[in-house]
Structure formats: C-alpha cells, structure tokens
C-alpha cells in the first residue's frame, strides 16, 4: 500500500465527503453492519499547526457552521437518508469539553473569557479529577482551551444545539468525546436533550472508574476490555497474556458496569494503535474478531481493519495517530480481502441468531464455562463460544451445558455438525475459534 509522503500530509484533509460515503454504503452493508459512527460535524480550525489542521473534527471553531470539507447540509441529510433506507443507523461524534487550538480568538459562539476554565492549565495527574475536568487535554505547544461547562451560557448553548442537531438531521445515537473531562451532571442534561442512545469515551483501563460513567450514559466505550484484548491476542510471545485475563475482565465487568451489553467493544480506533500491528497471525485475528462480535457489548469495527490496515511500518510509532487514520479508498474497497469476508460471515451469524432468538440473545450476559492459559470457553444465551490465543500440545475436553442430553452440535463458522460420543463432552482439537449451537 502507498503511504502519505509525510506526517504533515496525513494531518490534513484528503477528500472524504458525505456524498462519497453514500457511494460506499453498499461496501459497508456488504459486511453486514447496520450502524456507522461519523466524525463531529461543526466547522473546525483549519489554520496549520504543528499537528496539522482540525481534519478529524475535534477542534471546534464555529458550532453553528458545518465543516464544509465534509460537504453541505444537503449532503449530510442525503447521506443519513440513504443510510436509513438501508436500515443503517448513524451515530454522531460530539465534543463539549474543549475547542480547537488557540490559533484564533474567533470561536463561535464561545467568545468570552468566562466561557473557559481560567486560568489555563494542563492535566499533569489523571488521578486528580479536578485537573481532569478543569484543565486542558492539550499541552504548552498546542493548548486546547477547556470550555467552562459550569457557565450558564455554555450549558444552555450545548443543550439547545444537541437537541436541534439530532432532530434536524435525524441522528440515531451520539458518541461523546472526552466524557470524563466534564462533570457528570452536565452530561446527564446533555444526554436528556439528545434523547438518543449515548456512548461515552473514558480512555483508561480502570474498570471501576469507567464503569461509574455507565450510570450517566447508556453505554461507555469499553476501554478496559480493549486493553485486555490487545494483551491477549498479540503475536509477541514475551508480552502475550493468558486467556484468563479475559475471564477476569468479565468478572470485573459484572462487578462495576450497569450493563455491559450496552457498551461499545472494539479492537482499535482512531486514538489507538492499529490492532493488526500487534498480530498478523490469521488464526489469532479470527479469534479476536470472534470474541469482539460474540461477547457482551455492541461491537465496533474501525474502518480499515477489514482491509488489514496496520498503520505505517516505515516510521516510528507508525501504528498510532495519525498513521492509523489513513484513507480507505486507496484499497479500492476490495471485497475479496479475507478479513472483509470473515467479518461478513460473523455478521451473518449474528443476524441468524437475532432471527432465531431475537434481541434477547444480545442482551444475555456471557457465562464462563472453562478457561486456561490458551483457551476461553463461555456461554452467551444458547451459543457456546470457544476462543484461543495460540496452539496447544494436546486436545482439550469441555463439558457443554444442555437442558437435555445433547450429542449433536452445529459449528456455525464451518457449518459442520459434531457428534459428541460421551454425554455433553466436546473435544477441542486446535486453536481455531468455534461457535456452537445444540441441534439435539
């Protein structure tokens, strides 16, 4: 794959538009996805900085103007309408914590001293919640002024804006950026005004800390699980952790989250290293994707994973920002890629389970059946899921639960039916992932 010539080049707009997204809805629907998370829509800072321009959408300049680089108001409305015709929902990324870097004094409508936390400070200690909420997430080189979300004008402006934006464009959900950086009471009012599904971002591995925020939003982006998945499914033999790490995370989920089935699960995103930079082992990738799609939560697949994006291997930290945000069209939207087709198969199985068991399947919480260093087996509703992170020297046996004696199990990935000779005792011969349903 051809890479941008420089970091500066990739930190600028490169042509993505709402109308272009309409043209590729069939590519997305072809994998079986029924929701799309899009970038923030307001006008961003477009003056050049040491980190480029606000092409990502998180550097607010004018709240009431759309980012024209993405398209017009009509383009956005047409995109959402076209998605809805395909039964694809649209989740809008929103930012209320900060504005873009202070290369301008013309922020609209937040143009007064009192609209920002003063004096300007930077977060030095993320264990200090006062700093987290009142100081800037930027730095001395590139300050991102922190909005005063205690100020009545700031609060009323955002509540009115989110209400009007959701209604005008008919968005189906919101992903809330920098969720932990604003007081929880503000978000409760904001989410009430939005009146759609809400998903908050709290970028830390601390399960008890992240879990508390699910009592504010419908769900949170499951960062604790992300860190566990990355450590379990890496190709690095020295750092790879046991599969018991996943089971321990499930226990923590049940202890601290309100309902993990409403949280967003992921292997990577625009803020983190490309997951596929940690593993190029085909079977390990399959196991990670199976766990993502059939564990508790709403699976989120980051654009480019289906095309085996790994970032830029030729530069230092090339798996992370900004190299993890490369343009998708350079692949030609290749539908023959094996990961594209494996994700398609997984979504077909999810649809089958929905047709048979309804939404109750997705709301069921997984229950551990067995776990050792290399293999994790759990039950989610009627489905038995078997995932491993490496090969093992000899076969394993697992007792499969069944209300009656079951001796036939359909493996949904291969389509094969397995005969169990001894009552309910299933033999695991290799590290390939398995999805089992009883057919007895």
Q: What positions carry a catalytic annotation?
A: 177, 201
Q: Is residue 52 within 8 Å of 12, Cβ to Cβ?
A: yes
d(CA 315, CA 307): 20
Does the annotation place 97 within a ligand binding site?
yes
Residue 175 annotated as lining a ligand binding site:
yes
Distances (CA, A) of 345 to 33, 304, 331: 11, 17, 21
For residue 111 the two structure tokens come to 């143009």
* Maximal CA-CA distance, the chain: 75
Phi then psi dihedrals of residue 171, to 5 deg: -70, 155
User: What would the two tokens of residue 296 be?
Assistant: 């508790």
146 annotated binding-site participant: yes
Question: Which residues make Cβ contacts (< 8 Å) with residue 279, sequence separation at least 6?
Answer: 233, 234, 235, 285, 288
Is 181 part of any known ligand binding site? yes
**Cα end-to-end span (Å), the chain:** 48
Residues 175, 222: Cα–Cα separation, whole Å: 12
Q: Is 271 annotated as a binding residue?
A: yes
Asked whether residue 201 is marked as a ligand-binding residue, the answer is yes
Residue 117 is assigned to a ligand binding site: no
| DSSP annotation of 366 | P
Residues annotated as binding site?
59, 97-98, 133, 146, 175, 177, 181, 201, 271, 325
Residues annotated as binding site for Ca(2+)?
97, 133, 146, 177, 181, 201
Residues annotated as binding site for substrate?
59, 98, 175, 271, 325
């Amino acid at each position: 794959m051809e890479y941008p010539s420089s970091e500066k080049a990739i930190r600028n707009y490169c042509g993505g538009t709402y109308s272009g997204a309409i043209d590729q809805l069939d590519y997305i629907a072809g994998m079986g996805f029924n929701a799309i998370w899009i970038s923030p829509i307001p006008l961003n800072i477009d003056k050049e900085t040491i980190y480029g321009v606000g092409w990502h959408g998180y550097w607010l300049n004018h709240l009431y103007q759309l980012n024209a680089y993405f398209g017009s108001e009509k383009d956005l409305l047409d995109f959402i309408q076209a998605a809805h015709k395909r039964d694809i929902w649209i989740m809008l990324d929103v930012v209320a914590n900060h504005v873009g870097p202070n290369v301008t004094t013309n922020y609209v409508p937040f143009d007064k001293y009192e609209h920002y936390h003063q004096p300007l400070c930077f977060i030095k200690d993320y264990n200090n919640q006062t700093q987290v909420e009142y100081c800037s997430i930027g730095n001395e080189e590139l300050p991102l002024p922190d909005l005063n979300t205690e100020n009545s004008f700031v609060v009323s402006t955002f509540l009115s804006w989110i209400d009007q934006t959701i209604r005008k464009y008919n968005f189906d959900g919101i992903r809330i950026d920098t969720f932990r950086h604003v007081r929880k009471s503000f978000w409760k009012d904001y989410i009430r005004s939005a009146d759609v599904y809400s998903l908050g971002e709290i970028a830390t591995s601390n399960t008890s800390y992240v879990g508390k925020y699910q009592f504010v939003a419908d769900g949170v982006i499951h960062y604790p699980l992300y860190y566990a998945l990355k450590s379990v499914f890496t190709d690095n033999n020295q750092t790879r952790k046991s599969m018991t790490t996943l089971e321990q995370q499930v226990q923590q989920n049940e202890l601290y989250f309100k309902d993990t089935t409403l949280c967003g699960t992921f292997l990577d995103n625009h803020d983190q290293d490309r997951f596929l930079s940690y593993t190029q082992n085909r079977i390990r990738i399959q196991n990670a994707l199976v766990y993502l799609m059939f564990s508790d939560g709403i699976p989120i697949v980051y654009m480019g994973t289906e095309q085996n994006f790994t970032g830029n291997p030729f530069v230092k930290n090339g798996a992370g920002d900004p190299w993890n945000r490369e343009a998708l069209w350079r692949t030609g939207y290749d539908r023959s890629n094996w990961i594209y087709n494996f994700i398609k198969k997984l979504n077909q199985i999810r649809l089958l389970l929905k047709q048979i068991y309804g939404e109750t399947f997705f709301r069921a919480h997984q229950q551990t059946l067995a776990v050792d260093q290399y293999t994790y087996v759990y039950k989610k509703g009627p489905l038995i899921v078997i995932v491993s992170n490496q090969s093992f020297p000899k076969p394993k046996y697992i007792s499969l639960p069944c209300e009656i004696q079951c001796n036939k199990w359909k493996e949904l990935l291969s389509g094969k039916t397995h005969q169990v000779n001894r009552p309910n005792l299933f033999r695991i011969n290799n590290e390939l992932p398995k999805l089992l349903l009883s057919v007895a």
